Chains A and B, each alone.
Chain A
């Protein structure tokens, strides 16, 4: 690869990271985008449970569940590149890199589970107002795995401090300097 090609590629990666890592936004995008699938897919499970246990037709429950899963799928797709961009900046020797890989893997499986779940609901037709056992099991397994992977994501922030203090380093370095402390190198 020639020099100009290499520098163009580097510039592209830097710009992509600037966008995807949320540097233009002031803080990471990935945790923000993940709020939707993490809350809506377990919500779909709750709706499925209620509808299944009650039996019979409950169109408001199944319709809401359908929308919850769809919204979760769309926002999960948006969350993927932001997560990859954040993960790519973690140094290989840190334990958080491995945790991120497991988090990514589980989320990939969960996405597929809910995609299949969604397709089944679409195939059942718009007037179908019952939750089947298969849909319920898929929602349950998917939500269970999501809770584990979401917890791992939380550990990356609260136990390993990924992206913590990065955007605010200039501010806190200035405060530390005024307070007579040794400061981090620039």
Chain B
């Protein structure tokens, strides 16, 4: 089932460009110019026109900020629960709401001072502080895009991305296979992100077949579980590296290193991923410690030394028929 149309629109998928980063330019510019106008009132005799201009800019800034928060929130909902950008996004959102609240209060305070040609010092300082908070929050937003690739290449994916990582273990598995619960109900084009004893794997269902491969692209570690699929290949959302999902080979760069793939089998309708070969029978231990125990010697001796002594004691214990009388 493809994603809802509303969500797709708010994420800017038809125009291949997320909406939130586009709209966000406006509150930033408007709040900055508001402060510039405030400072300009301190030169010469000031100006009621500047004060009013600053007021309009601030009001428009708050309005555009509120509008920008809608696609921003939708974008944030689409981030995986355990991704560090979920937390970064929460900080970004909270700081921005604080900024909007501060400016909201300022708008109220300024309403009574629109006829004074110079900006109130306390309000000016408040604007500076609010801009400072906005700068920090904007920086976090930049981190989300440039460090974590949030929203990058998202328009190429038309099915929902994994919103959580399923933690499984192969420790108790007798044959080295891990069963992925409820995987058989996964729809075509969807992916599951799995953590199997620390190994992170993307399980994708494409054209009725299941494929399992590492979640990290070998170019700059983009999330392959959020990629798009075509011709048995997965395409990384960040820079469009393509990998064959069965063999892991690079079909198209900029990646150069192949990705790890894992064998998937469907047994009794259940999807199972092969994590390792079946464990071998209990091996015969030839460790130095075991050898020393057998010879009743301190185990710190080197194995080669113990062997030499073992051979020597064997030969000395055996009766020597050719001893001279």
* Chain A residue contacts of B216, Cβ below 8 A: 172, 175-176, 179, 181-183
User: Nearest-CB distance from A170 to chain B (Å)?
Assistant: 10
Task: Annotate B4-22 by CB proximity to A: 1 below 8 A, 0 otherwise.
Answer: 0000000000011110011
Within 129-186 of A, Cβ neighbours of B (below 8 Å) are at: 150-151, 154-155, 157-161, 163-169, 171-173, 175-176, 178-185
Give which listed residue, B24, B152, B215, contacts A158 with CB less than 8 A. Answer: B152
State which residues 131-174 of B face A: CB under 8 Å.
Answer: 138-139, 142-143, 145-149, 151-155
By the criterion CB–CB under 8 Å, are B33 and A31 in contact? no
Interface residues contributed by chain A, number (CB under 8 Å): 49
Shortest distance between the CB of A48 and any CB in chain B (Å): 13
Within 8 A of A (CB), among B16-54: 16-18, 21-22, 24-26, 28-30, 32-33, 36-37, 40, 47-50, 52-54
With known contacts A165-B222, A181-B216, A43–B257 Cβ distance under 8 A: no
User: What CA separation (Å) do A51 and B138 show in the bound complex?
Assistant: 32
A90 to chain B, nearest CB (A): 12
Q: How far is the CA of A168 from the CA of B149 in the complex (A)?
A: 10
Cβ of B56 to closest chain A Cβ, rounded Å: 7
Asked whether B18 lies within 8 Å of A182 as measured between CB atoms, the reply is no
Q: Which residues of B contact A60 (CB under 8 A)?
A: 48-50, 52-53, 56
Residue A59 at the chain B interface, CB threshold 8 Å: yes
Interface residues on B, range: 35 or more
Question: B17 and A176: CB pair below 8 A?
Answer: no
| Given contacts A32-B142, A39-B29, A179 and B49 within 8 Å (CB-CB) | no
Q: Mark each residue of chain A from 99 to 127: 1 if its CB lies under 8 Å from any CB of chain B, else 0.
A: 00000000000000000000000000000
Neighbour of B153 across the interface among A31, A67, A151, A161, CB < 8 A = A161
Q: Mark A28-69, 1 if CB is under 8 A from B, else 0.
A: 100110111011100100000000000000011101100110
Query: B24 — which chain A residues lie within 8 A by C-beta?
Result: 35
Residues on B with C-beta less than 8 A from A158 are: 16-18, 21, 151-155
B258 at the interface (CB under 8 A from A): yes
Is B198 touching A178 in the complex (CB atoms < 8 A)?
yes
Question: B291 near A: Cβ within 8 Å?
Answer: no
Q: Name B146's contact: one of A36, A43, A164, A173 (CB within 8 Å).
A: A164
- Which residue of the partner chain A has the closest CB to B143? A27
Contact at A43–B29, with CB atoms within 8 Å? yes
A34 vs B22: C-alpha distance in the bound complex, in angstroms? Answer: 11
Q: Is B204 on the interface with A (CB-CB < 8 A)?
A: no
Interface flag for A26 (CB, 8 Å): yes
- Note all chain B residues with C-beta closer than 8 A to A184: 217-221, 255-257
B260 on the interface (CB 8 Å rule)?
yes
Most chain A CB neighbours (cut-off 10 Å) among B30, B50, B152, B255: B152
A to B CB contacts below 8 Å, 6 in the list: A38-B25, A165-B222, A172-B221, A178-B198, A182-B260, A184-B219
Which residues from chain B sit less than 8 Å from chain A, CB to CB?
15-18, 21-22, 24-26, 28-30, 32-33, 36-37, 40, 47-50, 52-54, 56-57, 60, 138-139, 142-143, 145-149, 151-155, 195, 198-200, 214-222, 238-240, 255-260
